[in-house]
Chain A
Amino acid sequence: MTEMNENPLDLLPEVLLAASAVLGLLLGSWLPRARQWIVGWLAAVACLAGIVAASVAAAEPALTAFGEAFSVDAVTSTSRIVVLGGTLIILGVSFRPLKGDPRETEFYVLVQLAALGALMMAGAQDLLLLAAGYLLASIPAYTLAGFRKDGPGTEAALKFYVIGALLGVLMLTGITILYATGRGTAYPMLGEVFRDAPEALVAAGTTGLLAGVLFKAGGVPAHFWVPDAVQGSSPPVAALLTTIPKIGALAALFRLGDVVLADSTLPWPALIAVLAAASMTLGNLGAFFQQDVKRLLAYSTISQVGYLLMPIAVAGRADLAQQALLFYLAAYAVTNLGAFAVVCALPRAHTLDDYRGLARERPLLAASLVVCLLGLVGTPPTSVFLGKLEAFSAAFDGGYAWLVVVAAANTVASLFYYLRWIVPAVSRGGSSGPSEGDRAARVVAYAATFASLGLGIAGGPVLDVLTAPITR
């Protein structure tokens, strides 16, 4: 390294988001309550501009900024586009319910800060930056979980916060140990040192680090907050909690695995494989007999993390791992957000039974729900199918055939609880309650469904883009 690259333009999407958050906060203090929606639009513009900037950056060769602390490569670029796109969807579904809310501005600012934290985690190439990203992604999320200030929301926020604080401390401890072992915090350097570092130290440090990252990803064993936080918070926040931080955390985990730990003395792939199997299985078991749709989706996201961990387990061993993870992340984000958008579009429907008769009253919305849920199962031609196909192929190729079999079995099991939701939605009869609701959210649901299908049918060019090498 000859000269440190400190060009802030390399971090343009992040800078835009941060600037828009700060500006939004200032604007919000001066705007009358009826016009606070301007902050929401500002956030949307920042996201759009960020997507454009990220796409431009993606076309250029990979580079690292700020002394190798932040990397701009295919993983970062994809995460940026997916996170910002996901944030746009969340802004779209929250616009209506928050209109005129006394704390409207705060909501948009917190959403942007949470997304910014996810972006920092995805690009971090340094353990300290990763820790900062973790805090930035977590603290706004705690606040958002309890944003409604009602009973369930407070419980959700408290549980979320206590577990997050505990695991965050563990993560910092782990980082300290790794720092002590590797005498540095930059990934490429750690990767070199860990080839022959004392196994016990690396194992202890990695365990702590994993605790924090898995907390953000919502994977086993750090998944206990997910169902309560998701059920207790409002639907748009639930959509955010189950999507945006996951993307950052899983991208970070992939980077850690690929650059730092794949060649270390630690049995990293086996560890992640076991976590993946546990995550998909426990998530599915939890989801089986849920009646509340948000809780069901919460457990479903835990199991999805299991599938997403498959390519991470074989990072560095299978050629397909990177594109599998990135494509699956994008597919999962848009499909999961589509399902949540349907939930947002029907604010009065809470349980599975409330969806009875949806197909009759809102056929398009029911169709979106069916496509998104079957998409989460992995039915072709939705994008998650292609993601799963890639993930399965990568794991198979990396020598984890048993994991693929477990994943296939879990996929079948997951069909059961998704069908428990689909069946009432498409069957006749029931109350005529659920149909009234939010038009903006409906449009967002249609768009997300369309994107999920489109990404699946025309996934070829996207996959091509995702194969660019990661920086080391």
Chain B
Amino acid sequence: MLTALVFAPTAVALLLFALPRRTAPQVFRTVWVLTSALELALVIALWAGYEADGGMQYEERARWIPSAGVGYHVGVDGLSLPLLALTSLLFLACALYSLREDRRIRDFAALFLFLQTTCLGLFAALDLILFFVFFDLSIVAMYFVIAGWGHRQAGRAALKFFLYTFIGSLALLLGFIGLYLAASPHTFDMVELTEQNPLAGRSVYGALVLLAVVVGLAVKTPTVPFHTWLPPAHVEAPAAGSAILAGVLLKMGTYGFVRLAMPMLPEVWRRYALVLVVVGVISVLHGALVALAQTDFKRMVAYTSVNHMGYIVLAVGAAAATADSSEQARSLAVTGAVTQMVSHGLLTGALFLLAGVLYERGRTYDMTAYSGVAAVAPAFAAMTGVAAFASLGLPGFSGFIAEFQIFTGSLGPRPLATALSVLGILLTAGLFLRALRQVFTGPLRLPDAPGTPRAFPDIRAHESLAIVPLLALAVVLGVAPRFLLDVIEPASRSVLELLAR
């Protein structure tokens, strides 16, 4: 079941290449949308059959390269299930959003379907090498998306993205090899490594392995100071690519923290958690402050991603403090971190798609070129408003639930850091309000570069079909988050148990 879920998109992608080149573009788009919808249905079925307290479920194992300690092992638990669901939903949104895309649609659809396989596979992987394979392939696929369909400077941005995240992935690989050699018998299996806790009592070795793993994940997340690849990659990528990059690929980093680093390296994680707290706070504040200085809408959203990822890093760092804080508070921090991954995926995905809508009309992301857009595109303005307010953490939206839990959980163990991070919310509120005022209010003014369509048509059906469900789900999560928290909470408790060893 899980294997089918993971590999079905790639199979369809290969099928697309089997179709004759002259096939109408409509066929490719329809197949793409149908496949993504089917994937989402499959994930919903998985969720329906998932038992909240059941630990790892839907496990599948196969021998792959036994002499190298590598196996094919996939499974789902409360950490990965929400991310699988998020991935499927975002890919469906991107498929719908791209219904009007006509630049080499076959290659575009095939790349996205392949990318979907790598993302789903990564979240389902229970073997370090399998994880790494998907991690690396996601970079390759995203590189081609940015380089092939991006804007003017896409080549450079894509190269920077590839080189940067590839460094991260190799650091990660070094860490994995360190874990592999420390385990006896040597294995890359995550479940076995978690049980063995092979680096217990080996402080220097453990610290080096943790360093490699954390650097690898931090580049992908990204946290300060490894975030510099993110803004150019986002600005130059096509809208659907940005949505996936921010919505799903960034989560690979944070997911790695809770899936790999915390359970497999508990001792050293606890020792160096303070570093992560500091890095988290700096990311929160730096991301927010730099976002405040942007006039480019997409670049601004990109920097708020750094800010939002900072909350997650803060939470996973704070959760490691054992003394003077209750188990419940720390569990809240981890749950908040996972919720934030989902929430950020939905909202940033929506924001980047909206940025794509803006660009498609005005051919620029420069906010100072627009004014009074709400008058001609009220629905677009409303959606952007909702996404922006949700993203800054207004109660009633998913962002609030996530950030509230993170702050509540972290305040006990790390009061100063948490207090500083709350400033981040203030800053993001300021920058989103400023952006909304600039673009949507005032007298109507549109960029009039040559080749620009004069009118600014309101949001189209396929665009709202992509964006509205994301925002609706953000509202549902903000109002009735229990169905998600019920899945996450047992998993985050077990992460903490593993961390306390």
Contact = CB atoms under 8 A, between A and B. Distances in A.
Interface string A213-232: 00000000000000000000
A396 B163 contact: no
Interface in B4-47: none
Interface in A426-465: 426-427, 459-460, 463-464
B226 interface: no
A460 B163 contact: no
Contacts of A10: none
A412 B170 contact: yes
A323 B144 contact: no
A390 B173 CA distance: 11
B173 A408 contact: yes
A467 B178 CA distance: 22
A379 interface: yes
Contacts of A411: 166, 170
A188 interface: no
A374 to B, nearest CB: 7
Interface residues of A, number: 31
Interface stretch (A154-162, A264-272, A343-351, A415-423): A415-423
A405 interface: yes
Interface string B111-148: 00000000000000000010011001100100010011
Contacts of A380: 129, 132-133, 136-137
B177 A396 contact: yes
Interface of A is mostly: helix
A426 B170 contact: no
Contacts of B159: 416, 419, 423
A381 B65 contact: no
A393 interface: yes
Interface in B150-164: 155, 159, 162-163
A390 B176 CA distance: 12
Interface string A368-412: 000000100001110001100110110011000100110011011
Interface string B57-93: 0000001111110100000000000000000000000
Q: Indicate the size class of the contact surface on chain B.
A: 20 to 34
Contact of B140 (A379, A397, A463): A379
Nearest to B66: A460
Given A393-B181, A423-B155, A464 B66 contact: yes
B180 interface: yes
B161 to A, nearest CB: 11
Interface in A333-350: none
Contact of B64 (A385, A397, A460): A460
B174 interface: yes
Contacts of A423: 147, 155, 159
A120 B386 CA distance: 73
A10 B370 CA distance: 81
A152 to B, nearest CB: 32
A460 B181 contact: no
Given A393-B181, A408-B170, A411-B170, A419 B140 contact: no
Given A393-B181, A412-B166, A386 B174 contact: no
Contacts, number: 78
Contacts of B180: 393
A52 B256 CA distance: 46
Given A393-B177, A419-B159, A460 B170 contact: no
B68 to A, nearest CB: 6
A392 B133 contact: no
B167 interface: yes
Interface of B is mostly: helix
Contact of A412 (B65, B66, B129, B167): B167
B171 interface: yes
Contacts of A427: 147-148
Nearest to B67: A463
Contact of A460 (B63, B174, B178): B63
A396 B180 CA distance: 10
Given A415-B162, A415-B166, A404 B136 contact: no
Contacts of A389: 68, 129, 173, 177
Given A423-B147, A460-B63, A412 B174 contact: no
B144 to A, nearest CB: 7
A409 B208 CA distance: 16
A381 B66 CA distance: 16
A467 B67 contact: yes
A13 B65 CA distance: 29
A40 B370 CA distance: 70
Interface string A142-175: 0000000000000000000000000000000000
Interface in B300-337: none
Nearest to B65: A460
Q: Which of A380, A396, A415, A423: most chain B CB closer than 10 A?
A: A380
Interface in B210-266: none
Interface in B189-211: 208
A323 B167 CA distance: 26
B133 A408 contact: no
Contact of B174 (A379, A390, A392): A392
Given A393-B180, A412-B170, A386 B67 contact: no
Nearest to A379: B136
B170 to A, nearest CB: 4
Contact of B177 (A323, A381, A404, A409): A404
A46 B329 CA distance: 72
Nearest to B208: A401
A379 B68 contact: no
Contacts of A397: 181
Contacts of B181: 393, 396-397
A389 B130 CA distance: 13
A78 to B, nearest CB: 14
Q: Which of B155, B162, B173: most chain A CB closer than 10 A?
A: B173
Contacts of A405: 174
A381 B64 CA distance: 12
Given A412-B170, A464-B66, 20 more contacts: A379-B140, A380-B137, A381-B133, A385-B133, A390-B68, A392-B173, A393-B68, A396-B181, A397-B181, A401-B208, A405-B174, A408-B170, A408-B171, A408-B173, A412-B167, A419-B159, A460-B64, A460-B70, A463-B65, A467-B67
Interface of B: 63-68, 70, 129, 132-133, 136-137, 140, 144, 147-148, 155, 159, 162-163, 166-167, 170-171, 173-174, 177-178, 180-181, 208
Interface of A: 323, 374, 379-381, 385-386, 389-390, 392-393, 396-397, 401, 404-405, 408-409, 411-412, 415-416, 419, 423, 426-427, 459-460, 463-464, 467
28 contacts: A323-B67, A379-B137, A380-B129, A380-B133, A380-B136, A380-B137, A381-B133, A385-B133, A386-B65, A389-B68, A392-B177, A393-B181, A396-B177, A401-B208, A404-B177, A405-B174, A408-B171, A411-B166, A415-B163, A416-B163, A423-B147, A426-B147, A459-B65, A460-B63, A460-B68, A463-B65, A463-B68, A464-B67
